[in-house]
């Protein structure tokens, strides 16, 4: 472990503690904490400076930067800066010598480097490993192309672009002009620039951006950090990493800006960028960002404070709230300046300045005391925006917010008529709801895009930022294939298993160690709640070893069962904090043993409490460090040259040395066999076991390799070893030397992962840095995205009871049975939605009619589920309406039409409606439905093939090549799935409410109306908000056309039929939840076994619930099998 690493760790601890100290007390705190250690003081102050500069989503940003602190706590494994794509060892890329890392820009990390010829300093940009997908590499390369097109003094120039080999992969980079400067806001603050100088500086930025726009380039990520000011006061625009081309070259952008993928920094993004739609981004989007930059340059704060907000909440703020008026923050900005900046920040792009040049022109007019073009918004416009802004709170808040908002609306009545104001408020509420659902949809589509690209871990990290409270089936469906990610406020590096169901982790905010239930991440306890902690380590006997942030080196052991402090050991350091914290463990007698380097650096002090301490001479060598060995009578020390010294714990006597271990600071050790042995690595990276009593290597595992800085851990019973080399996690059985589990994990590309096994060895916490992590269930490993949409999809249950296209589908009223019909193979099957067991079949004969006739069959259970009604082909292209009594097994023909009808199945609809009578809206097949009053609705083919409307039904709104029909649960809306579009209309009138492009063969509303699903020729199912009809996302479902969709009555499952001869049941519940639900049903119908048809018929007549009737019908069907 190097001194730099230890310095970073100590700086991280002091930095975390300093954040809890008031600004006016911070200097004195640093004096006490850092003492005479100038390097430590400087490192902490740099971190504090960086913290003060954070803008966007500050809490989240702070969390993501914790890894860069080098926060190495004793008891943790060593740390690798996985956010640095080059690591600490590489010093050259091609003709460039790396000098230092200077920051981050767009999709990459930026280094200061020196070019060999011509000799000059350059900024060298390299993408992070996490961005090494093909799509992101295309975006990275595009930045070089874009910058190459721009020649302006206010835009950083590009010198060279290329690739280099790193860790077996080609990594792109480009060298650009090195700009020695500070962010524009920092420059203005430090220079105490007056208003006129700030506006003049801003005008120079506007001119540079206008040059980019004139060359067809939209920046999309303008913010203070991307506008540096040189020492001579000239600004330079940097980082076109997310730029897009606005001219005819848009094809390049369309390949790699996926719908729903949000780029840029949120606090400065125009509202239209939140849609993720590349076509919505125009030069006016940059004008908005320039307005946000101007606002911060003048007011000292961004227009919107987004710290601590979830992504969806932050997006709502940007779309629904107006920033405070500049004149309220700075009175001298009232008037023209406030009007100019306000126009640039309009949420409606049409109301903004059309260009950066137009914004610059108004600023010049102000400076020259001429009239400006912009004018303050009208009174009525302000009233409408005010109402919309607060009505947005109504859409997503609780009753208290509703009351507040109603009061605000009432105060506006004087500005307009009461009726107009009420209508305006209602419209505003709908816009707010639409905005919220649209934001969620864009996020979910981006998640699904990653899944479609095979990027599970990118999808999981994006999914984790959403607010999932109140999420419905659509949220649960995505969650089912997401790894169980740790919450954003839980450190994956600091989390430790307390038992098989709970973890303990230092609290990020406040004090103590939180105890969390892994099942739902609820906090079930807190230890030492008043003390900020650096780390918490679990020891045998439910003891938690806590390390307070201050004083450095102090240790407290706490009984996790009672919360009682068992021992408090003070810091052994009297002066400034040393380079290494004490190691700590329990000895063979259960006593706490700490070991640390003395303040003079000459000895290792071993302290067993109550004055029992001793010193071991290490000749002043700083690379000798103690290794805690749990339950042992030995203490070991390791050196960077690979030597291991073994001492007797009681006396400190040197018993001997072990050679042949790997000479690296990145070599780790783990106690084994009750403290009598250590695991480590040899010079060939093999895992080895060192017998401490014999002081020699006694076993080598040929197949278990542990590279430098690969972290490993043993299970509680020492049987399993877990490690995370690169993009994998491996669990090994040490006795048999076999992998019991392994799989790809790529939280950060190219990074090793920490793996902490639960006591029972069935789960593990896997983390890549201090923030990102998840819980791995070894019995249910992460899904392979390639399995989604196949039989291996964990959400899918696939019925394969047909040999050809499955067009038609009906579900029983209790949601337990499905009836599917393939007119191509002539088979009607009734089967169990859970077990997929076929419980009854009938051959209905092959239909040789035209394609449209095969797609028009009627099929439905009646309202009590006893009978299944279906139309079947008859010779001569006719059709029969048949009734299958599931209690008795009898099938009767109830009506028939001859082959003269163009659509014989639909010609039977009057007969079916008469027999069904009134009832809840019901699907009667792909192309017909019953309304509540007993009348029907149907769709037909092109006009020339239609039949006249019936006595009890009429044709839905006109169109061509209609394929499917669906009714909303209340029967008020009808959806038409057609060859060219999906249309939604009022069920009682021809008024069209919604239309979207795309072919669809099927549509269905969820029973609660919250979701609407469609599907068609591409085999994907698309989910929409059922009320607002906003698309949420689509997912792969079949390998061929999807012909029918239906929801179970309880809304837990969506069933789809396809031309691939399968029927799939889509269920986001866990296998345990599915089985528990089915178990009750199975008990009910198995209890009826042995009863004859007459007894079951009598029971059915007396049954009071749909579940009772369903069980009786299942028992009757089973009895005839």
d(CA 371, CA 364) in angstroms, rounded, equals 10
According to DSSP, the β-strands at 496-497 and 484-485 are unpaired
Residue 391 annotated as lining a ligand binding site: no
Q: Indicate which residue of 221, 225, 793, 1025 is catalytic.
A: 221
Among 585, 605, 581, 603, smallest CA distance to 595 is for: 605
- How many CA atoms lie less than 13 Å away from 229 in the CB half-sphere? 22
How buried is residue 905: exposed, middle or buried, by Cβ count under 10 Å (0-12/13-18/19+)? buried
The tally of CA atoms less than 13 A away on the side-chain side of residue 693 is 7
User: CB within 8 A of 936, min separation 6: which ones?
Assistant: 909, 910, 913, 924, 928, 929, 930, 950, 952, 953, 954
Q: Is-contact 621 635, C-beta < 8 A?
A: no
Report how far residue 67's alpha carbon sits from residue 815's, in angstroms, rounded to the nearest whole number.
Answer: 50
Residues 880, 884, 889, 893, CA torsion sign: negative
Planar angle of CA 459, 461, 463, nearest 5 degrees: 65
- In the block, tokens 């709801």 appear at 433
Whether 287 contacts 353, CB under 8 Å? yes
CA-CA distance, 602 to 530, in Å (whole number)? 36
Give the integer Cα–Cα distance in Å for 926 and 454. Answer: 34
Q: Which residues contact 850 (CB under 8 A, 6 or more apart)?
A: none
Question: 710-736 burial string, b = 16+ CB within 10 Å, else e?
Answer: bbbbbbeebebbbbbbbbebbbbebee
Residue 1090 gets which letter from DSSP? T
Q: In what order do the strands lie in the sheet with 981-986?
A: 962-967, 973-978, 981-986, 992-997
CA angle 734, 737, 742 (to 5 degrees): 90
Alpha helices in 883-950 (DSSP H): 909-916
What backbone phi and psi angles, to 5 degrees, belong to 697?
-75, 125
Cβ pair 374, 343 in contact under 8 A = yes
DSSP summary character for residue 399:
H
The DSSP secondary structure of 484-523, one letter per residue, reads EEPPTTS-TTT-EESSSSEEEEE-SSSSSEEEEETTT--E
Contacts of 289 (CB under 8 A, 6+ apart): 219, 220, 221, 222, 223, 264, 268, 269, 270
Q: CA–CA separation, 461 vs 476, rounded Å?
A: 16
CB atoms within 10 A of CB 846: 13
898 is catalytic: no
Cβ(327)–Cβ(335) below 8 Å: yes
- Return the DSSP state at 900: T
Contact 616, 627 (CB under 8 A): no
Q: Round to whole Å and give the CA distance between 1110 and 1106.
A: 6
Provide the annotated active-site residues. Answer: 221
């Amino acid at each position: 472990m190097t001194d730099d690493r230890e310095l970073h760790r100590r700086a991280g601890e002091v930095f975390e503690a300093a954040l809890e100290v008031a600004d006016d007390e911070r200097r004195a705190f640093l004096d006490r904490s850092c003492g005479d250690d100038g390097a430590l003081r400087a490192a902490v102050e740099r971190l504090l400076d960086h913290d003060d500069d954070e803008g966007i989503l500050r809490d989240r940003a702070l969390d993501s930067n914790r890894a860069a602190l080098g926060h190495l706590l004793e008891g943790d494994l060593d740390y690798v800066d996985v956010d640095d794509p080059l690591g600490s060892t590489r010093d050259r890329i091609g003709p460039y010598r790396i000098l230092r890392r200077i920051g981050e820009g767009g999709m990459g990390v930026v280094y200061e480097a020196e070019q060999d010829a011509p000799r000059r300093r350059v900024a060298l940009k390299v993408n992070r490993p996490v961005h090494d997908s093909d799509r992101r590499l295309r975006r990275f390369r595009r930045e070089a192309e874009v910058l190459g097109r721009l020649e302006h003094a206010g835009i950083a120039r590009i010198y060279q672009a290329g690739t280099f080999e790193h860790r077996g992969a080609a990594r792109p980079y480009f060298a650009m002009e090195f700009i020695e400067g500070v962010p524009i806001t920092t420059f203005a603050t430090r220079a105490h620039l007056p208003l006129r100088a700030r506006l003049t500086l801003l005008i120079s930025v506007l001119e540079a951006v206008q040059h980019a726009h004139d060359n067809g380039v939209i920046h999309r990520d303008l913010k203070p950090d991307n506008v540096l000011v040189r020492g001579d006061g000239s600004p330079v625009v940097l980082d076109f990493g997310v730029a897009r081309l606005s001219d005819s070259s848009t094809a390049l952008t369309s390949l790699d800006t996926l719908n729903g993928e949000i780029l840029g920094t949120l606090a400065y993004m125009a509202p239209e960028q939140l849609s993720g739609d590349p076509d919505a981004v125009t030069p006016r989007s940059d004008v908005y960002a320039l307005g946000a930059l101007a606002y911060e340059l003048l007011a000292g704060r961004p227009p919107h404070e987004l710290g601590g907000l979830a992504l969806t909440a932050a997006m709502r703020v940007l779309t629904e709230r107006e920033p405070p008026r500049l004149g309220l923050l700075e009175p001298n900005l009232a008037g023209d300046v406030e009007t100019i900046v306000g126009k640039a920040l309009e949420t409606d792009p049409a109301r903004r300045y059309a260009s950066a040049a137009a914004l610059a022109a108004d600023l010049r007019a102000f400076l020259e005391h001429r009239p400006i073009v912009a004018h303050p918004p009208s009174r009525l416009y302000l009233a409408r925006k005010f109402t919309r802004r607060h009505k947005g709170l109504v859409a997503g808040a609780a009753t208290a917010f509703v009351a507040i908002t109603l009061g605000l609306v009432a105060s506006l009545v004087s500005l307009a008529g009461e009726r107009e104001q009420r209508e305006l408020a209602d419209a505003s509420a709908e816009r707010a709801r639409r905005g919220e659902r649209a934001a969620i949809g864009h996020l979910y589509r981006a998640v699904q895009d990653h899944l479609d690209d095979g990027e599970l871990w990118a999808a999981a990290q994006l999914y984790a930022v959403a607010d999932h409270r109140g999420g419905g089936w659509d949220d649960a469906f995505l969650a089912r294939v997401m790894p169980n990610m740790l919450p954003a406020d839980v450190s994956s590096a600091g989390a430790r298993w307390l038992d098989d169901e709970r973890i303990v982790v230092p609290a990020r905010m406040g004090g103590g160690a939180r105890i969390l239930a892994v099942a739902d991440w609820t906090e079930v306890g807190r230890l030492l709640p008043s003390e900020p902690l650096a780390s918490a380590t679990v020891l045998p006997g439910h003891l938690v070893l806590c390390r307070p942030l201050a004083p450095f080196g102090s240790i407290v052991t706490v009984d996790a069962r009672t919360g009682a402090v068992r021992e408090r050991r003070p810091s052994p350091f009297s002066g400034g904090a040393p380079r290494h914290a004490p190691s700590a463990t329990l000895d063979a007698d259960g006593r706490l043993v700490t070991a640390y380097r003395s303040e003079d650096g000459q000895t290792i002090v071993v302290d067993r409490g109550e004055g029992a301490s001793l010193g071991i001479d290490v000749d002043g060598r700083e690379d000798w460090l103690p290794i805690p060995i749990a339950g042992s009578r030995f203490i070991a020390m390791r050196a960077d040259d690979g030597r291991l010294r073994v001492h007797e714990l009681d006396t400190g006597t040197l018993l001997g040395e072990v050679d042949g271990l790997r000479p690296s600071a990145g070599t780790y050790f783990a106690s084994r066999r009750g403290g009598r042995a250590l695991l480590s690595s040899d010079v060939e990276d093999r895992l080895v076991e060192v017998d401490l009593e014999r002081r020699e290597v006694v076993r080598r595992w040929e197949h278990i390799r542990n590279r430098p800085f690969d972290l490993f851990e043993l299970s509680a019973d020492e049987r399993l070893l877990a490690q995370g080399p690169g993009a994998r996690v491996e669990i090994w059985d040490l006795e048999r030397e076999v992998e019991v589990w392994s799989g790809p994990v790529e939280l950060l590309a190219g990074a090793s992962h920490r793996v902490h096994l639960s006591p029972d060895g069935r789960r593990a916490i896997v983390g890549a840095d201090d923030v990102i992590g998840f819980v791995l269930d070894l019995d249910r490993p992460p899904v392979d995205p390639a399995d989604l949409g196949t039989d291996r999809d964990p959400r899918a249950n696939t019925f394969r009871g047909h040999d050809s296209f499955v067009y038609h589908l009906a579900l029983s009223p209790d949601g337990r049975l499905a009836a599917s019909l393939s007119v191509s193979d002539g088979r009607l099957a009734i089967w169990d939605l859970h077990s997929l067991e076929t419980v009854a079949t009938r051959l209905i004969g092959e239909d040789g009619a035209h394609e449209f006739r095969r797609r028009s069959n009627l099929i439905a259970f009646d309202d009590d589920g006893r009978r299944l009604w279906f139309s079947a082909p008859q010779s001569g292209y006719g059709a029969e309406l048949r009734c299958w009594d599931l209690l008795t097994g009898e099938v009767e023909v109830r009506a028939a039409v001859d082959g003269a009808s163009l659509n014989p199945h639909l010609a039977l609809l009057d007969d079916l409606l008469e027999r069904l009578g009134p009832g809840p809206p019901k699907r009667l097949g792909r192309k017909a439905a019953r309304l509540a009053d007993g009348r029907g609705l149907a769709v037909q083919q092109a006009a020339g093939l239609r039949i006249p409307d019936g006595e009890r039904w009429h044709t839905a709104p006109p169109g061509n090549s209609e394929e499917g029909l669906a009714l909303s649960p209340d029967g008020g809306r009808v959806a038409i799935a057609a060859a060219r579009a999906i249309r939604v209309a009022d069920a009682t009138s021809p008024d069209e409410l919604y239309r979207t492009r795309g072919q669809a063969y099927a549509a269905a509303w969820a029973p609660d109306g919250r979701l609407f699903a469609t599907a068609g020729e591409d085999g994907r199912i698309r989910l929409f908000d059922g009320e607002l009809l906003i698309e949420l996302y689509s997912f792969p479902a079949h390998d061929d056309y999807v012909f029918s969709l239906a929801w179970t009555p309880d809304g837990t499952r969506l069933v789809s039929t396809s031309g691939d001869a399968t029927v799939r049941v889509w269920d986001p519940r866990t296998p345990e939840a599915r089985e528990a639900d089915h178990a009750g049903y199975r008990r009910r119908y198995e209890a009826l076994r042995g009863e004859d048809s007459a007894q079951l018929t009598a029971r059915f007549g007396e049954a009071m619930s749909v579940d009772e009737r369903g069980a009786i019908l299942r028992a009757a069907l089973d009895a005839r099998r």
